[in-house]
Amino acid sequence: MERQKGKMHDSRFSGMQDPFLLKGMKEALSRIIEAVNEREKIVIYGYYDLDGITAVSLLFLVLKYLNADVEYFVSDDIDDDFSINSEIVKNHIKFLGAKLMITVGCGVNSVAQTELCKELGIDVIITDYHKCKDELPETVVINPNQKDCKYPFKDLTAVGIAFKLAQAVSMYYQMKSISKYLDLAMIGTLSRGLNITGENKHIINEGIHHLNYTNNYGFKALVKIHKIISINKESMYRLAHNIIPSVKNRRCVDNARIAVELFTTANMDRAEQIAKYLKNEIGGNELCIL
């Protein structure tokens, strides 16, 4: 763990907080290092809004870069509790052979579900931003709003917290290009429609900067298919609310899974195919603004 003490490698992080100020970050990093080095199966578990989609995509890409054995699952449990679904754990996560599950933007109040994971031999790292109840799951929790967390900025989104975790991982593995994932953090943060202040403002500004030079085929395809001429906050806000069409229903969940593929594919033709499909899916339907 000594490598984590080094400075962040990109000067553009000067406006961002140290990820190790987040309670649970050191423990989360230690477990991820073990999983990566031992080639244990890691499953990233997230929800179907764009914030969740980009969080899943970001962590998936970072762990893939480290040659981790990693997969993802976008939950089709359409509820407002943002909890872990026990049936999904039993029927899908366990089936994938997971030894470690990392949630993004969900799970902070999933006490019983976390116990189920333990019984099945699955360790859990919860990253979430939702309000915490009095009883937290007995596992590693990263949430700036949990009790005794000294992280000064409390309004990080799911992808914002995922990026903080990626920062910590990059500091240990001495990854020099972690800032390139700020484009994903930017679009996910914009999708939440929050007042853009503090660290979120920095994420968005730097994400827009990096998007001008992105090597993410998904973003390149979206810019091309949507005929975006100028990459700025306004055009990115509009894009954020046009990636995942339809209302909150089964189709929205299916599109979310396809969108993760869009942001993680290494094939430009496939990226353009998905971008065209998602654009056509809008087709006059109400946008899925979550």
pLDDT by residue (tens digit) across 62-79?
A: 999 999 999 999 987 766
CA 190 to chain centre: 13
* Residue 71 CB neighbour total at 10 angstroms: 15
* Residue ranges of domains in the chain: 2-199
32 close to 24: Cβ distance less than 8 angstroms: no
Classify 224 as helix, strand or coil: helix
Q: What is the rounded CA–CA span in Å between residue 126 and residue 84?
A: 10
188 close to 50: Cβ distance less than 8 angstroms: yes
CATH architecture of 2-199: Alpha-Beta Complex (3.90)
Q: Which helix (H) or strand (E) holds 282?
A: helix 268-282
Q: What is the value of pTM for the model shown?
A: 0.92
What is the mean predicted confidence (pLDDT) over 98-118? 97
To the nearest 10°, the Cα dihedral for 271, 273, 279, 281?
Answer: -120
- pLDDT, residue 248, reads 56
Q: pLDDT > 70: what percent of the chain? A: 89
